[in-house]
């Protein structure tokens, strides 16, 4: 079965700093999703990447998909306290199977 490994597990950054979170798949990626979760709440969709080399941005968050490396990265520029939360990557397996998720990266942003 497909497994997703996220790094780092947790991250503390100073407000205004840039940061990157990585997600590596054990199998070929057919679609990669990034979600954000606030503590004790549900997951909020951020972005979906489907093609190798694809890059998407929303506000100060950019995600890239490296199909050959079976990896995706999420980059936040000039972090703000509102970026704090848990970032999870999710991936489709082959045959249109439901999403599997990584354990998440817990981000804290300090003033």
Would you tell me which residues interact with another protein (CB under 8 A)? 4, 30-31, 33, 35, 40-45, 48, 50, 88, 90, 92, 96, 98-104, 106
- In angstroms, give the least distance from the CB of 87 to another protein: 12
Residue 18 or 45 with smaller CB distance to another protein: 45
Q: Which residue, among 63, 109, 68, 69, has the nearest Cα to 90 in the 3D structure?
A: 63
Task: Quote the least distance from Cβ 18 to another protein, whole Å.
Answer: 25
The dihedral sign for the CA sequence 28, 88, 97, 62: negative
Give the separation between CA 48 and CA 103, rounded to whole angstroms.
18
Q: Which residues are CB-neighbours of 59 under 8 A, at least 6 positions away?
A: none
Q: What's the closest the beta carbon of residue 40 comes to another protein, in angstroms?
A: 6
Residue 50 three-state SS: coil
Torsion of CA 42, 64, 4, 81, to 10 degrees: -40
Closer residue to another protein in complex, CB, 24/33: 33
- Nearer Cβ to another protein, position 41 or 59? 41
| Residue whose CB is less far from another protein, 16 or 52 | 52
Token duo for residue 70: 């079976």
CB of 58 to another protein, least distance (A): 14
């Amino acid at each position: 079965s497909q497994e997703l490994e996220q790094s780092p597990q947790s991250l503390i950054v100073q407000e205004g700093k840039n940061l990157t979170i990585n997600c590596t798949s054990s199998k070929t990626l057919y679609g990669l999703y990034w979600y954000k979760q606030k503590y004790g709440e549900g997951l909020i969709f951020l972005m979906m990447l489907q093609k190798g080399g694809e890059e998407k941005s929303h506000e100060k968050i950019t995600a890239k998909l490296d199909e050959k490396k079976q990896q995706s990265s999420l980059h936040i520029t000039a972090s703000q306290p509102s970026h704090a939360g848990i970032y999870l990557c999710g991936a489709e397996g082959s045959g249109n199977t439901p999403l599997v998720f990584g354990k998440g990266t817990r981000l804290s942003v300090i003033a």
